[in-house]
Amino acid sequence: MSTTFTINGQPYTVNLTDLPPDITLNTFIREHAQLTATKFMCLEGGCGACVCAVSDGKSTWTVNSCLKLLNTCVQLEIITCEGLGNQISGYHPIQKRLAKMNGTQCGFCSPGFVMNMYGLMEQHGGRVTMEQVENSFGGNICRCTGYRPILDAMKSFAVDSTVAVSQESVDIEDLNLKARNCPRTGKACMGTCRQSKLIFEDGSQWCWPSTLAELFEALENVGNSDEFMLVGGNTAHGVYRRSPDIKHFIDVNGVEDLHRYSSDKESLTLGANLSLTETMEIIRSTSKQPGFEYLEVLWHHIDLIANVPVRNTGTLAGNICTKKEHPEFPSDIFISFEALNVKVIAMKAVDDEEEMTLEQFLGEQDRKMLVKAFILPSYPRDTYIYDSFKIMPRAQNAHAYVNAGFLLELDGNSKVKSARICFGGIRPDFIHATDIEQLMVGHSPYESDLVEQIFSKLEGLVKPDEVLPDASPAYRSKLACGLLYKFLLKHAPDAEVSGKFKSGGELLQRPLSSGLQLFTTQKQTYPVTQAVQKLEGMIQCSGEATYMNDVLTTSNSVYCAFVGATKVGATVDQIDASAALQYPGVVAFYTAKDIPGTNTFCEPSFGYEAEEIFCSGLVRHSEQPVGVIVALTADQAQRATKLVKISYSNPSSDFQLMPSLKDVFCSDTPDPSRIIPLVISKLKEVKFSDKPDLEVRGIFEMGLQYHFTMEPQTTIIIPFEDGLKVFSATQWIDQTQSVIAHALQMKAKDVQLEVRRLGGGYGCKISRGNQVACAAALAAHKLNRPVRFVQSLESMMDCNGKRWACRCEYQCHVKTSGRIVGLSNDFYEDAGWNANESPVQGHSTFTAANCYEFTDSNFKLSGHAVLTDAPSSTWCRAPGSVEGVAMMENIIEHVAFELQKDPAEVRLANISRKTKMATLLPEFLKTREYYSRRKEIEQFNANNRWKKRGLGLSLMDFPIIYIGQFPATVTIYHVDGSVVVTHGGIEMGQGMNTKIAQVAAYTLGIDLSYVKVESSTTINGANSMVTGYAIGSESVCYAVRKTCETLNARLKPVRKAKATWVETVEAANAQMINLIASDHYKTGDMQNYHVLGLALSELEMDVLTGNILIRRVDILEDAGESLSPWIDVGQVEGAFVMGLGYWLSELLVYEGDNGRLLTNRTWNYKPLGAKDIPIDFRVELVHNPRPSSAGFMGSKATGEPPCCLAVSVVFALQQALQSARQDAGLPREWLRLGAPTTPETLLLSAGHQVSEFKLK
């Protein structure tokens, strides 16, 4: 029977039994409706790329289409970004505002942000506050922009907006907040009425019960051994993957009895299937009733669960049942409900319901027991105190390190009558601190003796389990104790608490964020230097911009997924894919034996050592691909990979698994076979003074960082005639073309690439994506049919190299003035298993002295690549430079600490007075009020025991070195004078194409609207250098200007003084003047230069939790004559925030026993979100009135250098921690902070003991 879905008012009719029962809305939108604005990346509701809106005709809300199952949408109208607004029907105001306010860079995340904002406006009738807006994007990740311009654009719609909006960004039309109506009926489209049951070919069933009786009837049909699923929002799939063996899907969304709620003076009853969003609305309104005031605390806690689209569909019962099935799950609903003694109404049959405690329900063995409702008691606030806490690695969209709920009942004498002290994130079997609950009864909770007893006993009770990648037991134990202490500090009468301790009772309170951007432009060179809107911005915000996976192919396309090896150090013996080949939909399985040519995805002629496409012998790292499954759908391919069996011969007896740099250095004598010296300075040994004023020694460690591009590694291959058409997300089309050709024994001419744009790059798509491209090409070549390979997030994180982890061992001699007179720096960078892309002699060396004055006689630098049993490390935004700058800045800070001098003064003592930095730094310190703010922070720290602030400074001298070549072709059309530019660079969010268009328009003397920049191909962009090293935009702009100058020379004979551009072009064409020209940039065409930058970061730390707020950041960057200021400001902000993630939250954890990466999902790898960025974010581009001859038209790179400045937050944290440690009575000593400095690191470094938890 056919079912009709409506998307953007258009009907799409399908037979649901022809589709898998668990097909997602995202798959249907993209592959069946072929609407590509709705993206995907993580496939677990953690990134926001997949967000769209749904409507039931009464209300509209956003969902993660990657989690939302299609069959739950049969009576919903679906709205996608291109349906909201587009080039044909006109853009929606949200799309316009985001584009015009510089809120898009790579653009891959933009449709998700637009749709999330649309849903927010719909849910609140178009009237939202700035606070609501800023709080609603926890589920949307943007790796490019740093969030500030996105938040500004969205907050500009708020009723209380203070965001300045240019006149051209103001839309006079309304926001069109109503769902689109069906074009045939004029009414809201609701799809066809759903059936009660579907039976699929494999015997699986989907049921839509509408009553409890029908629901239990469906459950009765489930066999004792059958797997079944009660389908609500399917959000648990974002934590624990849904079983592929489910035979019965029972959709409970239509059962009205599970959505009811009611309240009286004694209790609030919430239907089990209420979404978290619906629950929040109910409890907020109920919190105004006497006895239910505590619900406001519950509201704020639920607001910290996941993100808006997940809360829109995730249900109360779903959350609790996930806890039942997985006792280790740190459920916030459970911990809150358990603390509140919420009762469960459970049912075994329509006429068999029972009220029980949560503990009883979790212990029930009947897997078909149904939760009907939850009963929340009334707790009058004159006799009850309730509070709850959730401590996370970032501000939003993360599960708790530890969560807690505390409920005290007081008698008439303010003594504890009963207590419920509950913790999550400790151990599955530890929830209640029963001994503490009993201890408190009969006492005032604020008695000093009782408080001392509480924490003496609690420290012994809280014994967390140790399960990687969870935070350490030591952290979670101290954190749990700190939360109960925070509860007592918060609720104790002021007279009972010391003023210095009181602020410890509150969590960090984040105000609304804001920013300031300062730059200058030069009207005489417009549109160059003009602050123009990104040319592709509008189609990115409407979702019409094409990325590699948006390329449509024919219906016989197939999909790929890697099969990974798991036994590192062993040799692959046999691969048995017979079971996988029998799996429905599987077409083929290929291994190294099937490759007709060279088994490498790194081109040896480009200076690389071979890295195998498919492992043919020794397994170098966990999940190294041994082959590729090819199937009719991506899900089938992914599931079939689990069925491939690999046998191994054992590793050699002397093999020791070391997947990380720390593993290599855990011994005092690291394995010398793993350490490769790559660069040693001319100075073999520093001649240190026998009697220095001070000697400083230390170790500085930096971890790995995953690029986290929003667009996955993606390649589409379409066989054409005698060759392949390749659409690959690559930063280096030349190398991708080469490795595919060599793998397939084809000529380069028969492998043609086209790249329109990338959804982010940051270096991971220079060579790592070639493994995907080669595998896809092999499948297309063998099968002679289109192949689509979009690598899963887990596979990317398992297989792709990361930023090099780095260890720096330093020794320096220093004068009391702060001047460093001798420095030795031995540093070690994690190369992974192969040093292909770990050129220690690269930027780590160039930036190791940073902006400070050293000579060959007093600075010894020794760099080493360290081989580990992990994927080969690769380029990552400002590769090597982040490490080089950070090493030197850390040494400066350490010297200042040991001398007890201001770090700014030590910097000034080591900067040559002849350099520009010697002028910039004093002015920067003055205008940013450095010294007065430092004094204010010292005073704040003196007055507060449990909140501390810090102010960190960092400087940067970033060398730009031009290499390689980039071609460009410019075509002028005689019909209307329009211009098309093609080139060998890759647009990936850095604004290259906009700058190119500005340069072309300026050089040709025409309006910017005449110019279009087309896709990069291996025809017009043949033999191009990789787009990276921060030189791509300037290099291609140089080539474009040369080409346009050639065209100007050709047009000169026919130019007339008053002729228009179109008339001139027509005249040239009439004389058959060639209106197509090509030229290129090559090494030596432009002079190298240096980018200088300064950053000052102020933050506040909660000593009891380790959480921080970045209160303010000031950045000053020497951008020369910015070609396109809004783009460059966006690059500065985005690079800096990516750097913040590296230093604060992005922790990668390998399992020591098998080398498996444990943090390979959005569930456990945490880039910063919208509420983690600086609250006050100020960026200034230094204007140089006399541009040097270096660079292009006086401009300077901005895409990579600012990432180096983010280390300033670590120095601010050092200051905050030193104050905390002083208060703890610890001796003054330098702390080895590094990347990442997580809340765990901060709390444990603060040094306090639980015995210090006193009220006075």
Structure tokens at 572: 């692959």
- Which tens digits make up the pLDDT trace of 22-41? 999 999 999 999 999 999 99
pLDDT at 1: 65
CB 349 within 8 A of CB 305: no
Q: Are 12 and 32 in contact (CB under 8 A)?
A: yes
Q: Are 601 and 767 in contact (CB under 8 A)?
A: yes
Tally Cβ neighbours within 10 Å of residue 181.
15
Backbone angles phi, psi at 779, to 5 degrees: -65, -45
Residue 82 lies in a domain: yes
In a domain, 563, yes or no: no
Pair (1044, 950) in one structural domain: no
Give yes or no: residues 930 and 1024 share one domain.
Answer: no
Q: Is residue 956 assigned to a domain?
A: yes
Pair 174, 39 in one domain: yes
Which residues belong to the annotated binding site? 42, 47, 50, 66, 106, 109, 142, 144, 390, 731, 877
**CA 1076 to mean position of chain CA atoms:** 42
CA geometry: angle 829, 619, 836, nearest 5 deg = 35
Query: What digits encode the pLDDT tens for the residues 106-133?
Result: 999 999 999 999 999 999 999 999 999 9
User: What's the CATH code of the domain at 1010?
Assistant: 3.30.365.10
Q: Is the peptide bond before 1236 cis (omega within 30 degrees of 0)?
A: yes
Instruction: Name the residue among 186, 185, 29 with its Cα closest to residue 115.
Output: 29
| Cis ω before 527 (30° cut-off from 0) | yes
Q: How far apart are the C-alpha atoms of 1069 and 159, rounded to whole Å?
A: 55
Structural domain including 1002 reads 965-1082
Binding residues for [2Fe-2S] cluster: 42, 47, 50, 66, 106, 109, 142, 144
Contacts of 429 (CB under 8 A, 6+ apart): 327
Which residue is listed with tokens 């906009």?
A: 994
- Residue 528 or 182, more confident: 528
What pLDDT does residue 188 have? 46
Do 193 and 77 have their domain in common? yes
CATH number at residue 464: 3.30.390.50
pLDDT digits (tens, 9 = 90+) for 792-820: 999 999 999 999 999 999 999 999 999 99
In this prediction, residue 164 carries a pLDDT of 85
Residue 43 lies in a domain: yes
> Do 1115 and 1009 fall within a single domain?
no
Question: Does one domain contain both 88 and 180?
Answer: yes
Q: Is 844 helix (H, G, I), strand (E, B) or coil?
A: helix
CA distance 949 to 940: 7
Q: Which residues are annotated as a binding site for FAD?
A: 390
Per-residue confidence (pLDDT) for residue 596, from 0 to 100: 98
Q: Residue 1033 above 50 pLDDT?
A: yes
Token pair for residue 104? 């898009």
900 domain-assigned: no
10 Å Cβ neighbour count for 1?
8
- Residue 25's φ and ψ, nearest 5 degrees, are -60, -35
Contact at 8 Å (CB) between 542 and 81? yes
Residue 936 annotated to the active site? no
Rounded Cα distance between 1164 and 1230, Å, is: 30
Above 80 in pLDDT, residue 1067? Answer: yes
- Calpha distance 732→160 (Å, rounded): 46
Instruction: Give 222's contacts (C-beta < 8 A, 6+ positions apart).
Output: 228, 247, 248, 368
Residues 930 and 1050 in one domain: no
Q: Please state the length of the chain.
A: 1256
Same domain, yes or no: 998 and 1136: no
The closest of 991, 993, 996, 889 to 1212, measured between CA atoms, is 889
Tell me whether strands 402-410 and 384-391 are parallel, antiparallel or unpaired.
antiparallel
pLDDT average, residue stretch 589-603 = 98
Query: Is residue 328 within 8 Å of 467, Cβ to Cβ?
Result: yes
- Structural domain ending residue among the three candidates 1067, 1082, 1097: 1082
* Structure-token pair, residue 673: 């076979």
The beta strand positions in 498-594, using DSSP E, are 514-518, 558-564, 571-576, 586-591
Task: Give the type of residue at 562.
Answer: F
Contact 745, 718 (CB under 8 A): no
Same domain, 31 and 52: yes
pLDDT confidence band for 329 (50 / 70 / 90): very high
Domain limit, last residue, from 1032, 1051, 1082: 1082
Pairing of strands 787-790, 558-564: parallel
Facing residues of 647 across strands? 574
SS3 255: coil
* pLDDT at position 1052: 97
Q: What is the DSSP letter of 712?
A: P
- Count the alpha carbons within 13 Å of 234 in the hemisphere toward its beta carbon: 27
Structure tokens at 30: 């993209």
DSSP 25: H
Q: Say if residues 465 and 425 touch (Cβ distance below 8 Å).
A: no
* CATH number of the domain to which 31 belongs: 3.10.20.30
Beta bridge partners of 1095: 954, 1115
pLDDT band at 611 (very low <50, low <70, confident <90, very high): very high
Residue 570 carries which side chain, given as an amino acid letter? A
Q: What DSSP designation does 139 have?
A: T
pLDDT tens by residue, 58-88: 999 999 999 999 999 999 999 999 999 999 9
Is the separation of the CB atoms in 1131 and 417 below 8 Å? no
Q: Which neighbouring-strand residues pair with 376? A: 268
| The predicted structure's pLDDT at residue 292 | 98
pLDDT recorded at residue 681: 66
**550 occurs within a structural domain:** no
Q: Mark which of 545, 563, 591 sits at the end of a domain.
A: 545
Q: 1184 versus 343: which is more confidently predicted? A: 343
Q: Which of 77, 214, 754, 1200 is catalytic?
A: 1200
Q: In this predicted structure, which of 548-562, 636-650, 667-681, 734-748 has the lowest mean pLDDT?
A: 667-681
**In contact, 868 and 663? CB cutoff 8 Å:** yes
State the Rg of the chain over Cα.
31
User: Distance between terminal CA atoms of the chain?
Assistant: 73
Mean pLDDT of 1060-1081: 98
pLDDT one-digit tens code per residue, 665-697: 998 899 999 999 887 666 666 677 667 799 999
Classify strands 625-631 and 586-591 as parallel, antiparallel or unpaired: antiparallel
Q: What is the mean pLDDT of residues 615-640?
A: 98
Binding site residue list for Mo-molybdopterin? 731, 877
Name the residue type at position 716: I
Closest CA to 588 of 746, 751, 784: 784
Average pLDDT estimate for 507-517? 97
651-660, 871-880, 929-938: lowest mean pLDDT where?
A: 651-660
CA distance 428 to 557: 46
| Region of residue 929 (phi > 0: left; psi between -120 and 50: alpha; otherwise: beta) | left
- How far apart CA 504 and CA 1246 sit, in angstroms, is 14
DSSP for 883-931, written as a single string? HHHHHHHHHHHHHHHHHT--HHHHHHHHS-TTSTHHHHHHHHHHHTTHH
pLDDT of residue 627: 99
Phi, psi of 436 (to 5 degrees): -70, -40
1148 pLDDT exceeds 60? yes
Strand 820-832 relative to strand 806-814, pairing: antiparallel
Instruction: Answer yes or no: do 1100 and 1156 share one domain.
Output: yes
Neighbour-count burial of 1072, counting CB atoms closer than 10 A to its CB (0-12 exposed, 13-18 middle, 19+ buried): exposed
Residue 372 maps to a domain: no
Q: In which region does residue 102 sit, left (phi positive, over 0), alpha (psi from -120 to 50) or beta (all else)?
A: left
Count of CB atoms within 10 A of residue 190's CB? Answer: 17
CB 1042 within 8 A of CB 1079: yes
| Same domain for 482 and 532 | no
Residue type, 518: L
Say whether 495 sits in a helix, a strand or coil.
helix
Give the CA-trace dihedral at 750, 756, 758, 764, to 10 degrees: 30
Residue 1212 maps to a domain: yes
Q: Are residues 1071 and 1125 in the same domain?
A: no
Phi, psi for residue 1026 in degrees, rounded to 5? -60, 145
CA–CA gap between residue 94 and residue 98 (Å, rounded) = 6
Task: Give 1060's DSSP letter.
Answer: -
pLDDT reading at 181 higher than 70? no
Q: Is the peptide bond before 469 cis (omega within 30 degrees of 0)?
A: yes
Residue 196's contacts (CB-CB under 8 Å, 6 or more residues apart) are: 207, 208, 209, 210, 214
Spatial distance between the Cα atoms of 1117 and 1180, rounded to a whole number of angstroms: 6
Q: What confidence score (pLDDT) does residue 1190 get?
A: 75
How many domains is the chain built from?
A: 4
From CA 795, how far away is CA 355, in angstroms rounded?
45
Residue 1125 region by backbone torsions, left for phi larger than 0, else alpha for psi between -120 and 50, else beta? alpha
Query: How far is C-alpha 611 from the geometric centre of its chain's CA atoms?
Result: 28
What are the tokens at 1034?
A: 């300037």
Amino acid in position 766: I
CA–CA separation, 980 and 668 (whole Å): 61
Mean of the per-residue pLDDT values of the chain: 95
How far apart CA 821 and CA 689 sit, in angstroms, is 9
